[in-house]
Amino acid sequence: MAAASSSDSDACGAESNEANSKWLDAHYDPMANIHTFSACLALADLHGDGEYKLVVGDLGPGGQQPRLKVLKGPLVMTESPLPALPAAAATFLMEQHEPRTPALALASGPCVYVYKNLRPYFKFSLPQLPPNPLEQDLWNQAKEGDGRGAFVHPVTQMSLPSVPVFLEVSGQFDVEFRLAAACRNGNIYILRRDSKHPKYCIELSAQPVGLIRVHKVLVVGSTQDSLHGFTHKGKKLWTVQMPAAILTMNLLEQHSRGLQAVMAGLANGEVRIYRDKALLNVIHTPDAVTSLCFGRYGREDNTLIMTTRGGGLIIKILKRTAVFVEGGSEVGPPPAQAMKLNVPRKTRLYVDQTLREREAGTAMHRAFQTDLYLLRLRAARAYLQALESSLSPLSTTAREPLKLHAVVQGLGPTFKLTLHLQNTSTTRPVLGLLVCFLYNEALYSLPRAFFKVPLLVPGLNYPLETFVESLSNKGISDIIKVLVLREGQSAPLLSAHVNMPGSEGLAAA
């Protein structure tokens, strides 16, 4: 797909500095006569030759003369009339054919039309399931202007208190199926496969204009000119205000960089790209965009296709060197920098303190430096004392590189004390070690207060277990010191202080 001429670029209203733009202007035709919305755009390899085409369910001018169009590059390859206005388009592979054949499904009216090799293959009419009395009552109220509706699936039937206008499916139907339905009453209902009624309800207080799932976040556009982010349990995460009304939304997924973002076409001729609530890029178009589609087109992996309110077609290609950065589209300082801060008035106390600091600044600095030196000296002395007395769970000698970690389990009066001893050397084993426990014999009793440690293989964690019996019936606790020694030496290699919990068993008794 070749890039358009400079005149096309100017007519498309792209960024003035092409070198700083993330997009290449591939094509712009203001007279393409395409009137559709995002759900009726699909990119598909219809012939299995690696050449992706654009499938358009065209509503026609004023909703008259709906047609199915297939575009290759900027040209219309085929078009055929539709019996009713299209609602959605999708592509899939027909598994029963070898090799698997790409096919196109188009929802129009009460039927789903399937096209194979760009020719009608078969038509599927949705079955009319007999509604239950509650469902029938809902539809009768909808005829009277109540505005309530229902979503009917051939496998399950879910009742909603309003007519759904956007649907979003996540998960597999037989495993963890969730359906999000955005309805005209301004609410979004989260349904599960095993439930006939909404599990969660999100209140928007405005009619939704789009519903997209990005990772685990539901992004909703509303008629209040704002984007909202929700979890699948209905918790609001963030809200972003738009400068104009949102006309359409779709997902931008760049597989090469693992990016998922939301595209929003606004009534002021902007297309804004957001990752969560962070603005990544702004595209200016000569007319308001009514449909968006991003994906592989022709042989280009990252192509953005837009149709405008006047029926125009815009095609842009994302540069291979383009990287979306949060706030990268903003020019100059952030808007918050121009906000005037509400600085409180200077009080008499503040003025007196400022004068005192100005007069006694030298003495205050000297006092601060003295305290800082004393702090460093005390920290160094404490560190030296810890090294000399081995009051550290890590050995500092290269001959016995050890690490000790203690865990206490239980509620009392009997506790399980587990020592995790590890040889951190990479090549040399350690043997000839002893473990000794120092404790208050009036409070605790241990079956073995002194035992030998087996050979420690490098890199392995050895759990050494013992039991501690609490003798106090008042819930008093103390510290048990654990010393790791080498045979023939009185100074420990490393130690640990175990803060024993209070015995809940004896206290309750």
Write out the DSSP string of 420-466.
Answer: EEEE--SS--B-SEEEEEE--TTTEE-S-SEEEE--B-BT-EEEEEE
Residue closest to 430 by CA, chosen among 462, 407, 405: 462
Confidence of residue 196 (pLDDT cuts 50, 70, 90): low
3-class state of residue 303 by DSSP: strand
Report the distance separating Cα 303 and Cα 319, nearest Å: 9
> Quick one: pLDDT at residue 335?
64
Handedness of CA 362, 363, 365, 366 (dihedral sign): positive
Mean pLDDT on 419-431: 85
> First CA to last CA across the chain, in angstroms?
83
* 492 CB neighbour count, 10 Å cutoff: 19
E-assigned strand segments in 231-288 = 236-241, 246-254, 259-266, 270-275, 278-284
Report the distance separating Cα 50 and Cα 44, nearest Å: 9
Question: Cβ neighbours of residue 506 under 8 Å, at least 6 residues apart?
Answer: 412, 413, 470, 472, 473, 474, 475
- The 8-class DSSP code of residue 6 comes to H
Report the distance separating Cα 367 and Cα 212, nearest Å: 61
> Quick one: pLDDT at residue 106?
78
Report the distance separating Cα 454 and Cα 310, nearest Å: 83
Rg of the Cα trace of the chain?
35
pLDDT digits (tens, 9 = 90+) for 1-11: 444 433 344 44
> Quick one: pLDDT at residue 139?
54
In terms of C-beta density within 10 A (0-12 exposed, 13-18 middle, 19 or more buried), how is residue 502 classed?
A: middle
Report the distance separating Cα 439 and Cα 434, nearest Å: 17
Between 179 and 413, the more confident residue is: 413
Quote the pTM value.
Answer: 0.56
Q: Which of 283-287, 324-328, 434-438 has the highest mean pLDDT?
A: 283-287
Phi, psi of 218 (to 5 degrees): -90, 120
Residue 378 token pair: 């005390």
3-class state of residue 174 by DSSP: coil
Report the distance separating Cα 160 and Cα 231, nearest Å: 20
pLDDT digits (tens, 9 = 90+) for 258-308: 889 999 999 999 999 999 888 999 999 999 999 999 999 988 999 999 999
Mean pLDDT on 427-456: 87
Residue closest to 273 by CA, chosen among 251, 243, 296: 251
* Residue 472 to residues 25, 80, 418, 508, Cα–Cα distance (Å): 82, 90, 21, 12
Residue 3 token pair: 């890039």
Mean pLDDT on 175-189: 59
Residue closest to 81 by CA, chosen among 103, 94, 65: 65
> Quick one: pLDDT at residue 157?
46
Between 247 and 189, the more confident residue is: 247
Residue closest to 180 by CA, chosen among 232, 249, 235: 232
> Residue 41: what residue type?
L
pLDDT digits (tens, 9 = 90+) for 462-486: 888 889 988 887 778 888 888 888 8
